Copies of this chain bind each other. A is one copy, B any other.
């Protein structure tokens, strides 16, 4: 019988992975409506732009050799430069390309940070509820995840500080803008406070900010990183929502001492990210496709979010609470009464062919936390299906009350 490592022989870990696997399963029924998936709208994928770009890129006198050859651990330079000038500087983050490394998607950054920072038993403060895929990675590294309270302005700093003092965490993990799963955004003053706490207590803050640019109303907020005078904030971002998840591109912004180690961990993971993806993405930004593309996709999500808000207010039972996101792909609903969304999901999948993600999975505290909650994605579902699906779902929930 094959012997695995102690970690991967642990039935609890394997069970967690199994749960994760099922949690985000797509709806396969032909008439199904998937409010479960966190994917961008298919209409938001820049297919035509990439056909145009690829015609020039895949030439020997273009960037064909570069795209197909080995690269460097940091990623191609012009992509990192345009990230600095076009995606970071306008948000107030002023950094050199040398402090940006291209990852194979946003999640890989979490893996690399765990590699370099975590010893077994180390504590990570996470949001309650939090993004479960990252928690799975933290658990694989034998980290102890401690949940911190949130309200409609994101993490509550008094609770964060109390838990820093009590648990001495190595890291604080937050999705500050249009959070996954709730859609909630951390307020400006709390962003500043979180950077100050990181400095005061020498804790690393992972600012995971993939939804930031998908803002369709409200005022842009400064990233936590802009308040980072002590070099304790690592900014993680992704091209999945603003360009293409299939490109598997993300980036991490870190101070020199941290970046040196991230870079080595990247080499030891997979040498570097896909050069084909990197060159196509670099050309997408350098040729100026991005500003119009972003306007177009924000309009798509604005319309879908509005449809979702209207449908939830109209069709979900009285007493339902849900968030009103200013951006991103998700809303979060809390049902009235004694409904268990984990049970509900089985029935709606089976009878209505409608999926969402049950709330429990997003709470590291376990027990009944999130029992009556659900993450509802509007990003990948067209408005007419949002109305139809939410009406059917709401009607069904009402029969349970």
Chain A residues close to B by CB (< 8 Å): 1-8, 14, 17, 20-21, 37, 39-40, 42, 45-48, 50-51, 54-55, 58-60, 64-71, 103-105, 107-108, 111, 115-119, 133, 136-137, 140, 170, 202, 204, 231-232, 240, 244-248, 257-258, 261, 264-265, 267-277, 279-280
* Residues in chain B near residue A107, CB distance under 8 A: 268-271
Q: How far is the CB of A60 from chain B (nearest CB, A)?
A: 5
Contact assessment for A47 and B64 in the assembled complex, using a CB-CB cutoff below 8 Å? yes
For residue A55, which residues in chain B have a CB less than 8 angstroms away from its CB?
51, 54-55
- State which of B2, B137, B261 has its C-beta within 8 Å of the C-beta of A232: B2
Cβ of A281 to closest chain B Cβ, rounded Å? 9
Q: Are B270 and A108 in contact (CB under 8 A)?
A: yes
- A4-B245 contact in complex given A50-B68, A268-B136, C-beta closer than 8 Å: no
Q: Is the beta-carbon distance between A246 and B67 smaller than 8 angstroms?
A: yes
Minimum C-beta distance from A131 to chain B (A): 13
Within the complex, what minimum Cβ distance (angstroms) separates A172 from chain B? 14
Copies in the complex: 2
CA distance A17 to B115 in the complex (A): 14
| Cα–Cα distance between A210 and B12 once the two chains are bound (Å) | 35
Asked if B54 and A261 sit within 8 Å, CB to CB, the answer is no
With contacts A111-B270, A246-B276, A248-B271 known, what are 9 further pairs, Cβ within 8 A?
A: A8-B265, A21-B267, A50-B68, A51-B58, A51-B59, A69-B245, A269-B269, A273-B274, A274-B277
Q: Which residue of B lies closest to A73 (CB)?
A: B21
Q: What are 27 inter-chain pairs, A to B, with CB distance below 8 A?
A: A1-B202, A2-B204, A2-B231, A4-B261, A5-B118, A8-B115, A8-B261, A8-B265, A47-B58, A47-B60, A48-B58, A51-B58, A66-B246, A68-B244, A70-B245, A71-B246, A104-B104, A105-B270, A111-B270, A133-B267, A245-B275, A247-B274, A247-B275, A248-B271, A248-B272, A273-B274, A276-B276
By a CB distance below 8 angstroms, the chain B residues around A67 are 244, 246
Cα A80 to Cα B232 in complex, Å, equals 42
Given the interface pairs A246-B274, A268-B111, A270-B108, the reply to whether A47 lies near B70 with Cβ below 8 Å is no
Contact between B137 and A268 (Cβ–Cβ < 8 Å)? yes
